[in-house]
């Protein structure tokens, strides 16, 4: 069964299962979950424009979102995790149009993932 974009985004990029529990997922574990090949998962990611290679070229910090949801899962409820994931996915979809192949990950300040210097 092919997942909807939100479900695939949560699982692959945020480490959140379809039941909104956190765990580590990579392309192999996602493929096992859906009982498909790794190539099929990669095709879905490309179809939904959410390949990992896109993120360094977007104004969207997936590492920050992943970290926040993992922390929230430790202290919050499943409803809070679900609401946060929905908010992050909505932001991701809005930021798709910021994709610029000339923008590189070096533009991201990985020493300040939480944007504390901007405040």
Q: Which residue has the higher pLDDT, 43 or 60?
A: 43
The mean pLDDT of 47-61, rounded to a whole number, is 89
Tell whether 112 is covered by a domain: no
Tell whether 50 is covered by a domain: yes
Tell whether 90 is covered by a domain: yes
Whether 109 has a pLDDT exceeding 80, the answer reads no
Total domains in the chain come to 1
pLDDT at 21: 87
Domain that holds residue 12: 5-97
Tell whether 111 is covered by a domain: no
pLDDT in tens, 57-106: 888 888 889 999 999 998 989 999 999 999 999 999 999 888 888 876 55
Whether 34 has a pLDDT exceeding 90, the answer reads yes
Tell whether 26 is covered by a domain: yes
The string of DSSP letters for the chain reads -PPPHHHHHIIIII-B-TTS-B----HHHHHHHHT--HHHHHHHHHHTT--GGGGGGSS--HHHHHHHHHHHHHHS-HHHHHHHHHHHHHHHHHHGGG--TT--GGGS-TT-TT-GGG-
């Amino acid at each position: 069964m092919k997942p909807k974009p939100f479900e695939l985004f949560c699982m692959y990029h945020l480490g959140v299962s379809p039941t909104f529990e956190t765990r580590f997922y990579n392309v192999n574990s996602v493929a096992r979950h859906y009982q498909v090949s790794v190539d099929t998962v990669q095709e879905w990611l490309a179809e939904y424009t959410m390949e990992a290679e896109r993120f360094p070229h977007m104004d969207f910090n997936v590492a920050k979102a992943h970290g926040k949801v993992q922390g929230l899962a430790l202290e919050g409820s499943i409803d809070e995790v679900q609401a946060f994931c929905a908010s992050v996915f909505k932001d991701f979809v809005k930021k798709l149009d910021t994709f610029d192949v000339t923008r590189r990950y070096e533009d991201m300040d990985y020493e300040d993932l939480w944007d504390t210097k901007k405040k």
